Chains A and B, each alone.
Chain A
Amino acid sequence: MLRRAVIKNHTLEAQLFKRRALVAVLFSVLILLVLLSRLVYLQFFEFSHFSSLSENNRVRLSPLVPNRGLIYDRNGVVLAENRPSYQLELIPEQIKDMQKTLHDLGDVVTLDDDILKRFNRLLKRSRKFEGVPLRTKLSEEEVAKLAVNRHRFPGVEVKARLGRYYPLSKSMAHVVGYVGRVDEDELKRVDETNYKGTTHIGKTGLERYYENQLHGLVGYKNIEVNVQGRELRMLDKIPPVPGNNLWLTLDARIQKVAEDALQGFNGSVVVMKPHTGEILGMVSLPSFDPNLFVHGISHKNYKRLRDSPDRPLFNRSIMGQYPPGSTVKPFVGLGGLETRSIGHKEHINCIGHYLLPNEERKYRDWKKTGHGLVDLDKSIEQSCDVYYYELSYRMGINRIYSFLHQFGFGEKTGVDLLGERSGLLPSREWKKRTKNKIWFPGETLITGIGQGYMLTTPLQLASATSILSMRGQIYQPHLLSQIEIPGSDEKNKIDWPIRETFKIKREVNWDHAINGMVSVVHGLRGTARRSGIGLNFKMAGKTGTAQVFGIAQDAEYDEETIAKKLRDHALFIAFAPYNDPKIAVAVIAENGSHGSSVAAPIARKVIDEWIRNNKGSLPK
């Protein structure tokens, strides 16, 4: 072997190993003795110490769920409250014959197979001294029947727990929203410790947006338990801090009137105070009963709501996107003056249609015979389309875009609700970016009358109207007014900021645009003149009719032959009084056909109600 000779003495190595193994055995025994002495120390010498610690350990911490904050309208009308709901619970160890008890209970309360199946599943998992829920949402009648038959059912208890209730039901469903059972994803969003024991969480609307205000802080109680875990007595507790009450800017009366006025149409009404940004009313029709969701909506009901073509769960006020139609004209007209594209007394001859140079296509006016010579005031009063075709042509899409942008078109208003859509204010860049196509001059014309690509939400329209009425002062539209800490009379007013103010070059241009809107309501030929009759102050408005689909060249518009769903949307924006605005309204009635005859009267009813609430006088 080439390898270095390995001298291995096997006998010697075996002996070496034996010695080392012996050392290891001794060492192991020593370590075992160390462990044993530790046990002796813990279990013999310190026994009484640890034994008493163990006794103290029979204290269990259990969470105390805070009461959810209430929601009020601006006058203290309750919009969301907590009502006791009754639940039937069975305590297994106190019931001798479970099957008989269940059978007998069937005579007193309604029990179906699903309920019994679920109960049997829960029964297997629960401790025998803890109540197992059998039925939730007992009716008053069932509670009464159970009380009478109490002696027949030992171990059967009716427990009251607080459940969310929305007294106005459909009226505030979209704005206030609703709560539902907490799911796992939602637990990840919140502080899980604070939701120990909490069963419900805000799912939509303000209930969701202000979840952290409404929920409150969880409390704890220390309970002494015996070896089996049975509760013996409460030792001490940290009470929960209830959630804050929300006072909204909404006025339930205005909401109700707006809702009733719009009844029969799908659509939305948004009512605002232009000088503060407070939202007085936010109606979206059709609506739904939020109470259905609180204790878990049945599959059938949910399917019905979800699959309805009218989309009742959809909050049209912030999510519905509609072409603004002629309601955009005062804004475009003001833009025309500001960019000196047109003088305020300058006339344009309306012959019922408009032709672009070198183009054959006719851009039609709604009035076939034309309006004749039209200036800005008349163009708004009578909603002349040709005037705005010409004006838009002069301004160009870039200037239209940047001017309208200042009124918040194409941008979310930032209202305190989730899911708001931004609408769409088209521009050359937008078309290039999303459609990869160039902008055509004809598209500028139809943008100028609020058709084509342009889309707005009802809230956006109300907000833009407010900005116009306030001559460029932008207030943040909002729903939350005050936060009340329950138990104290203290209410903290939310300080919603004035967002910004935009200045125009000549202040007098505001008057020109606003006067045009006054003519709409009070002018001899104003499109909404019938809605101005009997007012003891002047209101400014603008009607709009938004095409749901385009009409082919020279085609006759025959209402009768078009399915109702294809009829135009009726729009109206208004504010009053025109010189000191206190209220602004935006109305959209889907398939309402005419802004003047359908939408404007709705706005008028809202304004009448608001005056009535202020005892006939002009409110401050």
Chain B
Amino acid sequence: MNNIQDKHHYPSLSLRVMRVLHLDHVLLFGIGALLMVGLIVLYSAGDESTALIHRQLTRIGLALVVMLIVAQIPSSSMRFWSPWMYIVGVILLVLVLVMGDVGKGAQRWLDLGFIRFQPSEMMKLVTPMMIAWYFAEKPLPPSWSTLFVAAVLILVPTFLIARQPDLGTALLIFAAGFFVLFLGGLSWRLMIGLSVLAAAMLPVMWHFMHDYQRGRVMTLLDPQRDPLGAGYHIIQSQIAIGSGGVYGRGWLNGSQSHLNFLPEQSTDFIFAVFAEEFGLLGGLFLLVLYGFIIIRGLMIAVQGQDTYARLLGGSLSLTFFVYLFVNVGMVTGILPVVGVPLPLISYGGTSMVTLMAGFGMLMSINSHRKLWSK
């Protein structure tokens, strides 16, 4: 008994540093491991380009700084600012539609003169913050009217982003909002009812989809339909993964990846490179690592200070999981091609910063709780 208390009162130096910086060493370990794996795969996927690694390291550095800063903000402050950030975010999204820069055929960027950024990235964090703020004021499980308002709050940014069109991000934002509803006690009956309704609505949605989106769905059902066009990505990435076998071809030896048969091999399809070179065992390891991070995130959420912190923490953890599921599902050919990166591994800056800011929030929820006596 004494022994345990001693340990509690005199933790190791590194743990004490962690505590001062409001960081959670367990979560940080998981994130660090993923980032390491990411760099190793990226080196191979980017044809052994050190320049690529340098740029990714810069982004990781930036993202860690953002995480560190966000971790210092107590969740009470976040809660206070949530509605304001939401309002600003929605205004920015409207601005993007009206006057945003077009990049790769979609309007996502907003140029504010001194900085160019994607308001949709910010909404990935702000939408669950807003719903959590709203729910924190209401008795849970939510009443019908509360649910209705929450649904509107989720659907407004979702539609604005889907219009850009950026289906991947819209999906992630919808999921983030939905997870707050779910964790806040959305009734099972309603969820089943909505699922049935959604299934019935599918033909209507089909009608409203862009041609390229329909093409992607068709391609998923039958990749051979257009083997050199839309189906090419799916076929090539499945070949890469399948030919990796149980043990993989070994690092830097993936022929699919290195002969440039794989599309977007450094970004959205990087999992295929990983699976080709590290095989089923590598895949298992990676999935376990992701599972570890998600479960740690949910544990932090459960121990949250108040309803707001719990709902936000839970939603962030589960959204991280959606990233993983949508990306791996797409690369392995069980979901249509939607532009969602493999979290913390894909090459690219914006999603990295958003994800790490989210982890910063989780760490803040975890550490600031201890400062409050309850």
Inter-chain contacts of A227 with B (CB < 8 A) = 253, 255, 258-259
Pair B241/A42 contact, Cβ less than 8 Å: yes
A263 within 8 A of B: no
- Cα separation A67 to B135 with both chains bound (whole Å): 73
Which residue on A lies nearest to B240, using beta carbons? A54
Which residue of A24, A34, A40, A228 is within 8 Å of B298 (Cβ)? A24
Which residue of B239, B275, B307, B334 is within 8 Å of A57 (Cβ)? B239
B354 within 8 A of A: no
Interface size class of A (residues with CB under 8 A): 35 or more
Residues 122-164 of B contacting A (Cβ, < 8 Å): 137-141
B332 within 8 A of A: yes
A53 within 8 A of B: yes
Inter-chain contacts of B334 with A (CB < 8 A) = 34, 38
The binding surface of chain A is classed by DSSP as helix
Contact with A along B308-337 (1 / 0, CB 8 A): 001100100010010011001100111000
Q: Given that A39-B283, A57-B255 are contacting pairs, would A24 and B261 also be in contact in the complex, using a CB cutoff of 8 Å?
A: no
A349 within 8 A of B: no
Inter-chain contacts of A44 with B (CB < 8 A) = 245-246, 280
Inter-chain contacts of B333 with A (CB < 8 A) = 38
Q: Given that A35-B325, A42-B238 are contacting pairs, would A21 and B302 also be in contact in the complex, using a CB cutoff of 8 Å?
A: yes
B290 within 8 A of A: yes
A51 within 8 A of B: yes
B43 within 8 A of A: no
B273 within 8 A of A: no
B118 within 8 A of A: no
Q: Give chain B nearest CB distance to A6 CB in angstroms.
A: 6
Residues 38-57 of A contacting B (Cβ, < 8 Å): 38-40, 42-44, 46-47, 49-51, 53-54, 57
- Cα separation A35 to B289 with both chains bound (whole Å): 14
Q: Given that A14-B310, A227-B255 are contacting pairs, would A43 and B185 also be in contact in the complex, using a CB cutoff of 8 Å?
A: no
Pair B138/A39 contact, Cβ less than 8 Å: no
B367 within 8 A of A: no
B287 within 8 A of A: yes
Pair B141/A16 contact, Cβ less than 8 Å: yes
- B239, B283, B298, B314 interface centre (most CB from chain A within 10 Å): B239
A18 within 8 A of B: yes
A9 within 8 A of B: yes
Residues 1-42 of A contacting B (Cβ, < 8 Å): 6-10, 13-14, 16-18, 20-21, 24-25, 28-29, 31-32, 34-36, 38-40, 42
- Cα separation A277 to B255 with both chains bound (whole Å): 62
Q: Give chain B nearest CB distance to A245 CB in angstroms.
A: 34
Pair B182/A51 contact, Cβ less than 8 Å: no
Q: Given that A24-B318, A28-B294, A47-B243 are contacting pairs, would A39 and B332 also be in contact in the complex, using a CB cutoff of 8 Å?
A: yes
Contact with A along B273-296 (1 / 0, CB 8 A): 001000110011001001100110
Q: Give chain B nearest CB distance to A220 CB in angstroms.
A: 13
Inter-chain contacts of A17 with B (CB < 8 A) = 183-185, 301-302, 304, 307, 310-311, 314
Pair A36/B243 contact, Cβ less than 8 Å: no
Inter-chain contacts of B258 with A (CB < 8 A) = 227-229
Q: Give chain A nearest CB distance to B227 CB in angstroms.
A: 11
Pair A21/B314 contact, Cβ less than 8 Å: yes
Contact with B along A222-243 (1 / 0, CB 8 A): 0001011100000000000000
B244 within 8 A of A: yes
Q: Give chain A nearest CB distance to B297 CB in angstroms.
A: 10
Q: Given that A17-B314, A25-B298, A44-B280 are contacting pairs, would A6 and B239 also be in contact in the complex, using a CB cutoff of 8 Å?
A: no
Q: Given that A21-B301, A28-B294, A32-B287 are contacting pairs, would A46 and B185 also be in contact in the complex, using a CB cutoff of 8 Å?
A: no
A60 within 8 A of B: yes
B168 within 8 A of A: no
- Cα separation A461 to B253 with both chains bound (whole Å): 71
- Cα separation A32 to B185 with both chains bound (whole Å): 24
Q: Give chain A nearest CB distance to B133 CB in angstroms.
A: 14
B256 within 8 A of A: yes
Which residue on A lies nearest to B258, using beta carbons? A227
Inter-chain contacts of B255 with A (CB < 8 A) = 54, 57-58, 227
- Cα separation A517 to B242 with both chains bound (whole Å): 87
Inter-chain contacts of B244 with A (CB < 8 A) = 43
Q: Given that A8-B139, A20-B182, A42-B332 are contacting pairs, would A53 and B283 also be in contact in the complex, using a CB cutoff of 8 Å?
A: no
Q: Give chain B nearest CB distance to A296 CB in angstroms.
A: 30
- Cα separation A50 to B236 with both chains bound (whole Å): 10
Inter-chain contacts of A57 with B (CB < 8 A) = 236, 239, 255-256, 259, 261
Which residue on B lies nearest to A229, using beta carbons? B259
Q: Give chain B nearest CB distance to A490 CB in angstroms.
A: 34
Pair A51/B259 contact, Cβ less than 8 Å: no
Pair A53/B307 contact, Cβ less than 8 Å: no
Pair A20/B183 contact, Cβ less than 8 Å: yes
Residues 197-239 of A contacting B (Cβ, < 8 Å): 225, 227-229
- Cα separation A6 to B140 with both chains bound (whole Å): 10
Q: Give chain A nearest CB distance to B139 CB in angstroms.
A: 5
Which residue of B246, B298, B301 is within 8 Å of A47 (Cβ)? B246
Which residue of B140, B280, B298, B314 is within 8 Å of A43 (Cβ)? B280
Q: Given that A39-B280, A43-B283, A227-B259 are contacting pairs, would A32 and B243 also be in contact in the complex, using a CB cutoff of 8 Å?
A: no
- Cα separation A18 to B240 with both chains bound (whole Å): 40
Inter-chain contacts of A7 with B (CB < 8 A) = 139
Pair A6/B302 contact, Cβ less than 8 Å: no
Pair A32/B291 contact, Cβ less than 8 Å: yes
Pair A225/B185 contact, Cβ less than 8 Å: no
Pair A39/B275 contact, Cβ less than 8 Å: yes
Which residue of A8, A28, A34 is within 8 Å of B291 (Cβ)? A28
Pair B291/A42 contact, Cβ less than 8 Å: no
- Cα separation A156 to B255 with both chains bound (whole Å): 30
Pair A35/B287 contact, Cβ less than 8 Å: yes
- Cα separation A342 to B243 with both chains bound (whole Å): 95
Inter-chain contacts of A9 with B (CB < 8 A) = 139
Q: Given that A9-B139, A25-B295, A42-B238 are contacting pairs, would A54 and B287 also be in contact in the complex, using a CB cutoff of 8 Å?
A: no
- Cα separation A14 to B236 with both chains bound (whole Å): 47
- B242, B245, B246, B291 interface centre (most CB from chain A within 10 Å): B242
Which residue of A29, A31, A32, A54 is within 8 Å of B239 (Cβ)? A54
Pair B314/A24 contact, Cβ less than 8 Å: yes
- Cα separation A58 to B243 with both chains bound (whole Å): 13
Which residue on B lies nearest to A20, using beta carbons? B183
Pair B314/A46 contact, Cβ less than 8 Å: no
- Cα separation A230 to B334 with both chains bound (whole Å): 34
Pair B259/A60 contact, Cβ less than 8 Å: yes
Q: Give chain B nearest CB distance to A140 CB in angstroms.
A: 40
- Cα separation A8 to B241 with both chains bound (whole Å): 51
Q: Give chain A nearest CB distance to B293 CB in angstroms.
A: 11
Pair A51/B318 contact, Cβ less than 8 Å: no
Inter-chain contacts of A54 with B (CB < 8 A) = 239-240, 242-243, 255-256
Residues 55-114 of A contacting B (Cβ, < 8 Å): 57-58, 60
- Cα separation A38 to B140 with both chains bound (whole Å): 38
Q: Give chain B nearest CB distance to A510 CB in angstroms.
A: 64
Q: Given that A16-B141, A21-B298 are contacting pairs, would A46 and B242 also be in contact in the complex, using a CB cutoff of 8 Å?
A: yes
Residues 237-270 of B contacting A (Cβ, < 8 Å): 238-246, 253, 255-256, 258-259, 261
The 8 residue pairs across chains A and B that have the minimum distance between CB atoms: A50-B242, A54-B243, A43-B280, A42-B242, A51-B243, A39-B283, A50-B243, A47-B245
Could you list some 28 contacts between A and B, CB below 8 A? A6-B137, A6-B139, A16-B141, A17-B302, A20-B182, A21-B298, A24-B179, A29-B291, A32-B287, A35-B324, A35-B329, A36-B284, A38-B334, A39-B283, A40-B280, A42-B241, A42-B275, A43-B241, A43-B244, A43-B245, A47-B242, A47-B245, A51-B243, A53-B243, A54-B239, A58-B255, A227-B255, A229-B259
* Known pairs A13-B185, A43-B245, A54-B239 / 6 extra A-B pairs, C-beta < 8 Å: A17-B304, A25-B298, A57-B255, A57-B256, A60-B259, A227-B259
Point out residues on B near A: beta carbons under 8 Å.
137-141, 179, 182-185, 236, 238-246, 253, 255-256, 258-259, 261, 275, 279-280, 283-284, 287, 290-291, 294-295, 298, 301-302, 304, 306-307, 310-311, 314, 318, 321, 324-325, 328-329, 332-334
